[in-house]
Chain A
């Protein structure tokens, strides 16, 4: 038990990692629905550094959390058995593929068909990565976390954060998108906010039934509903900003604000989640 802040590095990781990955869903939409010309595609490829950087900062958070980061390669020996190994494997697989995609794209060696395929795979992997991030917390000795809702909320955060970040990237790259893109952006963000809110909310609603020798899980983080509310409000604000920005050709200034707001909301929710750590007995 604790405040949740002792896991700040992990919260940074589970906020920024899936967000960076989730941005590739918007990129996939931008390339497939937007059909950018060569110059716009080049701009977008350059700006793809942004979600990759966010992803990298996320991984840095995970790395910082380790007591012996230099031994980190050993994590793959637990693949299959350890949910943490699985999470890292999927995350690293995503990152490697994303970097390969990016390098090929920058080098101009990415035919559209291959680009499309890679983007679809990356978008799918982003979902899987988010799911595995949640799965890693499903330990049978931690009843507060041991629920599929841990997965659901991560997918929601990924979708909400990733969509905003992805459209921000598109905006910076000044890629023209078809009519209706604003609606897509709004819908994806709202869907993410909804999934995240419901996922976390249902988890919180179930805390009353869980207790160990110290307390009821409902007493762990007295402000837990406020934290969830903060995420929902941030998500809605970010969704609104994204929608408004979309009307102005995805005005990047507004989208930067939206990114910060949604990331802050997710981070707050993640801190709340870690605050819900409670062993089955002690």
Chain B
């Protein structure tokens, strides 16, 4: 079967977080939990000339990401029960009957995706809105994006222009081989960049 994945066009994103809002609403997520994250990174500095005027080389950019449904997922690797698995479409899913909620997937995932929901008694995560996709619909986040910055589908069907996600704050794609393509914007910084910081800590921390 085809490997499914996400595509994110950073040049269109406005950081509005509608993707996250739609995901939260559709999956009825509690406030402290999200399957999709929008990180705002910024860098650069300001300088003042002798006449008091300001110039800046600062920049800001957003990256919206959910589960990268990796080819080599860190979460399935550490899962002791096999509950965390790749399904037929390559979607990384939780078998809730097998999951013991040990939290290792949550610790291991470099995309911050699985979380142990203690009330439900197992890990929960982005499953690419499998139910919607089965009905021929797009995932809630994709369909919500006003700017058409998100796509989802078989990897070979995604819009051209994207490359495996290699921008900060994400890990180098060689780590888990994410099925997540990004068309970077002019401000995007490479993975591991130490010149930028998270600017929206209140929203994602």
Which residues of chain A have a CB within 8 Å of any CB of chain B? 65-69, 71-72, 74-75, 77-78, 81-85, 88, 139-142, 211-214, 277, 279-282
Contact of A67 among B97, B108, B122, B168 (CB under 8 A): B122
Contact of A84 among B102, B122, B171 (CB under 8 A): B102
Whether the pair A141, B110 counts as a contact (CB closer than 8 A) is yes
- Could you tell me which residues of chain B, from 164 to 205, have a CB within 8 Å of some CB in chain A? 168-171, 175-176, 191-192, 194, 196-198
B190 to A: closest C-beta gap in Å: 12
Whether the pair B110, A281 counts as a contact (CB closer than 8 A) is yes
Whether the pair B41, A74 counts as a contact (CB closer than 8 A) is no
Enumerate chain B residues within 8 angstroms of A83, measured Cβ to Cβ.
78
Q: How far is the CA of A279 from the CA of B107 in the complex (A)?
A: 7
Whether the pair A281, B82 counts as a contact (CB closer than 8 A) is no
Query: Known interface pairs A140-B74, A141-B108. Does A71 touch B98 (Cβ–Cβ under 8 Å)?
Result: yes
Query: Known interface pairs A74-B83, A213-B168. Does A66 touch B102 (Cβ–Cβ under 8 Å)?
Result: yes
The A interface is mostly helix, strand or loop, or mixed, namely: loop
Enumerate chain B residues within 8 angstroms of A142, measured Cβ to Cβ.
107-108
A71 to B: closest C-beta gap in Å: 5
Enumerate chain A residues within 8 angstroms of B78, measured Cβ to Cβ.
82-84, 139
B42 to A: closest C-beta gap in Å: 12
Whether the pair A71, B97 counts as a contact (CB closer than 8 A) is yes
Enumerate chain A residues within 8 angstroms of B153, measured Cβ to Cβ.
none
Query: Known interface pairs A74-B82, A82-B78, A142-B108. Does A211 touch B194 (Cβ–Cβ under 8 Å)?
Result: yes
Give the top 7 A-B pairs by smallest Cβ distance, nearest first.
A67-B101, A213-B169, A74-B81, A281-B171, A68-B121, A78-B80, A75-B80
Q: Does B112 contact A (CB under 8 A)?
A: yes
Q: Does B103 contact A (CB under 8 A)?
A: yes
